[in-house]
Amino acid sequence: MRIGLYFGSFNPIHHAHLIIANHILNETLVDKVWFVVSPHNPLKETSSLLDENHRFHLVNVAIEADDRLKASNIEFSLPRPSYTSITLAHLSEKYPQHEFCIIMGSDSFQNIRRWKNFEFILKNYQILIYERPGFEIADNINAKINILKAPLLELSATAIRKLIKEKKSLKYLLPEAVITEIEKAGHYRK
């Protein structure tokens, strides 16, 4: 099976993540999308990060009714910070029957040269890039990239966390069931 690995902090998961996964599935670029929840992005501070188990739970709540999607906590048992090259090597060894590609926004792709072992990643895995407002894709990299033609989505987890702190409504920005869980647990208020 061809699996699209969608790595992220998902702090929290929101509708842009789900729209992107659905777009890639609709375009039949992959058979399934796995949301790989990263405990700690090596290039991001941890101060605003919700506990990884809660983030993983929210991803599961968001995708519950959709069997094309899966949440993975594989990085919870791998070294920290969460280096994607290590996870990829691990997954390729664990699932030799699957072909993996990577899904990312253009903001992540802009930074790819700062990633550990980025040459290994670019050489061995196709990358499906979803353009993000304000982050142009320089197509001058020698890699198997596919820049997706799809509507831009002006939505971020940062904006969602800010709305929660300001006690504003999250309606339509993330699935209702995820909003209910966040409110019930009091996540991101402080």
Ligand X SMILES: Nc1ncnc2c1ncn2[C@@H]1O[C@H](COP(=O)(O)OP(=O)(O)OP(=O)(O)O)[C@@H](O)[C@H]1O
Ligand Y SMILES: O=C(O)c1ccc[n+]([C@@H]2O[C@H](COP(=O)([O-])O)[C@@H](O)[C@H]2O)c1
Residues that bind ligand Y (CB under 6 A): 7-9, 38, 41-44, 82-85, 108, 115-116
Q: Residue 146 binds what, of ligand Y, ligand X, none (CB under 5 to 8 Å, by partner type)? A: none
CB of 11 or CB of 87, closer to ligand X: 11
CB of 22 or CB of 85, closer to ligand Y: 85
Query: Rule CB under 6 A: which residues touch ligand X?
Result: 8-11, 16-17, 20, 104-105, 107-108, 130, 132, 153, 155-158
Nearest-approach distance from CB 108 to ligand X, in angstroms: 4
CB of 89 or CB of 147, closer to ligand X: 147
CB of 153 or CB of 164, closer to ligand X: 153
Angle, alpha carbons 27-148-160 (nearest 5°): 100
Nearest-approach distance from CB 7 to ligand X, in angstroms: 7
Q: Which residues contact 100 (CB under 8 A, 6 or more apart)?
A: 2, 3, 4, 5, 88, 91, 92, 125
Nearest-approach distance from CB 41 to ligand X, in angstroms: 7
CB of 93 or CB of 143, closer to ligand X: 143
Closest CA to 37 of 79, 4, 82, 3: 82
Burial class (CB within 10 angstroms; exposed 0-12, middle 13-18, buried 19+) of 189: exposed
Q: Residue 83 binds what, of ligand X, ligand Y, none (CB under 5 to 8 Å, by partner type)? A: ligand Y
Nearest-approach distance from CB 101 to ligand X, in angstroms: 13
Nearest-approach distance from CB 189 to ligand Y, in angstroms: 21
Q: Residue 125 binds what, of ligand X, ligand Y, none (CB under 5 to 8 Å, by partner type)? A: none
